[in-house]
Amino acid sequence: MAHLGEAMTVDQTINAWLAPIADWLGKVVFFTVPLAGADLPLIVVWLIVGGIVCTVAFRFINLRGFRHSARVIRGDYSKREHPGEATPFQALSTAVSGTVGLGSIGGVAVAVTLGGPGATLWMMLAGFLGMSLKFAEVTLAVKYRRVRADGTVTGGAMYYVPEALGRVGLPRLGKFLAGFFCVAAIGGSVTIFQVSQAYSQVRAVTGFDQAFVFGLVVAVWIGIVLFGGVKRIVKWTDKLSPFMCLLYIVACLVVLGVNYANILPALATIVREAFAPDAVAGGAIGALIMGFRRAAFANEAGIGSAPMAHATVRTNEPMSQGFAALMEPFLDTIIICLLTALVIVVSGVNQTSANVGIALTSDAFATVVPWFPKVLAVVAVLFALSTVLAWGYYGEQAWMWLFGEKKPSRVAFRLFLCAMLSIAATFPLDQVVNIVDSCSFCMAIPNIIAIYLLMPELRADLASYWQRVVLKNGEGVVNVA
């Protein structure tokens, strides 16, 4: 057993070394202000206000554009001769792989535990607002992407942030903020939390107790796919994302089917406790803050991550993929999160179980069929793999912007990421998780600044696109001039 003691010593040493960095980042990035007995992180306010501004500025495009979004995803407006590497569905699948992850399972359970069932309603509202924010950032990513001589494509906030700041006479600041975004994206790409959570669920239901082997398998698989480039990534994600979502939805529907008599009371509880003054600490405001905070983690709207995947789409109309991106927050923060919350509430485990996170969701499945947690373990692994894969691609794009696109540079990043993932399940590196989360949310600062600065341009592009494409095809009746 000496090796276990040594492992813990290594873990404790790493945590102690990283603690000052993690604490400092946490205090800065997640700085909170007290509000009605609850702590409100200002970075969450930054994201939610961004969603509100975009929803109003684009006149509720999250509602009006829904029908057109479905047609874009179906491929009605994409042709093989258009520049790009992926179909709209493949680009969406890659982006969904990064967002529909364990935050939509364990994150909802955390929200229900700490914010009460009412937090679910506020998560859904945040998801609704996030649809407009996602529309804006993805449109900009496709508009300002770079198409290389060999036909491959790269894009993201690191390209449109300098453009936005250059428009107001601050090109150097734009370059700095783009570099800041890339450094944060590289830090956020080390998705240790996802691998660790997946391993925890697998170990809980199977007894498999080989953390390093689990991490090594994940690292090898991710490495194989990443070394195949974006075409291999989209080849995997356009199959993996729909499958994992469908599998989880079916599992949720089975639990809800068994507890069908409790569905309406559960919905009533969610709505009632969203506004109850004494439901949780901080009352309705506490539930709202927790719901918005978990939604920000779940759908990543405004973070600037997903635009890097959408930038690869084959299209000559940048705004079309902005419409496709509307579906991301709808799927992960409205559909998946609602189903997860309903499963937890109808089963009653939020009142009877002491577990939190994915373990609480697992308990909910176990109330129907004892072996259901094994299904959740499969889903958790799929979600973890897809999230790690998508963020691996994001990190590589940021790395290449900073260090060049030559093969040695790309190989260096892939080896670094695989090395980190191989030990992800071995140590409960709390401080690393804090650093990764902080890096991810730092990306939102330059990203949303650029969206605000380019807002007039986006509104003009939307008015033109709506007339030329949407109204021309009889899909809408409202002008947005």
pLDDT digits (tens, 9 = 90+) for 164-223: 999 988 999 999 999 999 998 888 887 776 777 677 767 777 777 777 777 787 777 777
Provide the pLDDT for residue 53.
Answer: 94
Take residue 111 and report the two structure tokens written for it: 């929200």
pLDDT digits over 407-417, tens only? 788 888 888 88
Tell whether the model's pLDDT for residue 454 goes beyond 80: yes
What does the pLDDT look like over 371-388, one tens digit per residue? 777 777 777 777 777 778
The total of other beta-carbon atoms located within 10 Å of residue 14's CB is 16
Stretch 226-232: mean pLDDT, rounded?
61
Pairing of strands 153-154, 32-35: unpaired
pLDDT above 70 for 34 = yes
Query: What mean pLDDT is reported for the chain?
Result: 77
- Residue 282: predicted pLDDT: 47
The predicted-structure confidence for 391-442, as pLDDT tens digits, reads as follows: 888 888 899 898 887 878 888 888 888 887 777 666 555 566 667 778 888 8
pLDDT at position 10, please? Answer: 52
Instruction: Kindly write down the DSSP assignment for every residue of 112-135, as one continuous string.
Output: HHHH-TTHHHHHHHHHHHHHHHHH
Q: How confident is the model at residue 458 (pLDDT cuts 50, 70, 90)?
A: very high
| Banded pLDDT at 5 (limits 50, 70, 90) | very low
- Report CA-CA distances (Å) from 263 to 241, 267, 274, 342, 370: 27, 6, 17, 7, 21
Burial label for 297, CB within 10 Å (0-12, 13-18, 19+), is buried
Q: For the chain, what are the domain ranges?
A: 18-470
What pLDDT score does 96 carry? 65
189: how many CB neighbours lie within 10 A of its CB?
27
pLDDT tier at 136 (50, 70, 90 boundaries)? Answer: very high
If you average pLDDT over residues 442-459, what whole number do you get?
93
| CA-CA-CA-CA dihedral for 162, 167, 169, 171, to nearest 10 | 10
Dihedral, CA of residue 383, residue 360, residue 30 and residue 28, to nearest 10: -80
CATH class of 18-470: mainly alpha
Query: Which pLDDT score is estimated for 206?
Result: 74
